[in-house]
Amino acid sequence: MYLLGEQSAWADALINRLQSLPALWLRDLAPCGPTLELEASDDLLAQLPADQLFLLNEGGISGCIAARPLFYWQEGDLIGLQQGENWADCRLCNEGALRLTPYRRGEFFQHLHADTHRAEQFLEYLLGQMAILAHAVAELKPREFRSTNGFKRVEAGETLISQGDVADHVFVIIDGHAEAFVDGQKVGDVPKDEIFGAMAVFTGEPRSATVIAREPSTIMLIPGEQFLSMTRTNPKIAHSLIESMARRIGQLNRQITRIPPPESLR
């Protein structure tokens, strides 16, 4: 069983190796019946006895999960291993004619385990297919975030970021509290779990505020590029950032309403 789509040279070589194994195991095991010759079908398993496995001698088979084609089998592969509740949503299809040699499942596994070398080859077959799928998932899955700078403990009064500095990190207060200042005037509080320093990372502009720890605090530092990648692939992070910015805007609005108007407007 292999993923549909383009494979790397490494995967192609492994696939060729895996396809040669079933015929070796079955060399000394007698089939339980004549070779089956089947026409095209959109539900192959419905035509095959559940107590049998099959060596695919001719043709190709595709496997669908939730109606999406994902897997394929070709000549030399073993058909019928995928059975049970975990595979209830898997449907096998073939667009052309097939030739399948049948073997009893029980006799097949007894035959495998009667010889240590065959048992090891069967394990190699299963692990090889897992490796192919794992590499495919690794190519498709966005890289997980892991901060390369880790955590930092700061004391009360320590400056975390300074207005006008280049923005190369985003910060999260894991424990503690900080305050934000613009031109020396306090413009807001930065509580625990708050993300701060992100706006300048997004815009590429210098820091617009200074942030100072109000009490001993633990800060997580996130490299800017990693944070941008994380917001693109993790909706929860983006949602948390929007909430943080909304609170900050609310604080600024409240402060603006408390500022007395100039003399000329009174």
- Do 238 and 231 contact (CB within 8 A), yes or no? yes
Asked if the domains 2-140 and 151-259 are classified in one and the same CATH topology, the answer is: yes
Confidence of residue 145 (pLDDT cuts 50, 70, 90): very low
Q: What angle do CA 141, 142, 145 make, to 5 degrees?
A: 130
Q: Could you tell me the pLDDT band of residue 143, with boundaries at 50, 70 and 90?
A: low
Render pLDDT for 33-64 as a digit per residue (tens, 0 to 9). 999 999 999 888 888 888 999 999 999 998 88
Confidence of residue 149 (pLDDT cuts 50, 70, 90): low
CATH homologous superfamily for the domain 151-259: Jelly Rolls (2.60.120.10)
Question: Any idea where the domains of the chain sit in the sequence?
Answer: 2-140, 151-259
Task: Give me the pLDDT at residue 177, please.
Answer: 92
Q: Which two tokens stand for residue 246?
A: 């909304």
Q: Which CATH superfamily is domain 2-140 in?
A: Jelly Rolls (2.60.120.10)
Sheet holding 68-73, edge to edge: 2-3, 68-73, 61-65, 90-93
Distance CA 247, CA 170 (A): 17
Q: What is the pLDDT of residue 196?
A: 83
Interval 202-219 mean pLDDT: 90
pLDDT at 108 over 90: yes
**How far apart are alpha carbons 70 and 92 in whole angstroms?**
10
Q: Give mean pLDDT, residues 18-42.
A: 91
Instruction: Write the DSSP assignment of the chain as a string of letters.
Output: -EESS---HHHHHHHHHHHTHHHHHGGGS--SSPPEEE--BS-GGGGS-TTEEEEEEES-EEEEETTEEEEEE-TT-EES---SGGGTTEEEEBSS-EEEEEEEHHHHHHHHHTSHHHHHHHHHHHHHHHHHHHHHHHHHSPPPP--SS-EEEE-TT-EEE-TT----EEEEEEES-EEEEETTEEEEEE-TT-EESHHHHHH-PPPSSEEEESSSEEEEEEEHHHHHHHHHH-HHHHHHHHHHHHHHHHHHHHHHHHSPPPGGG-
Q: Provide the pLDDT for residue 195.
A: 80
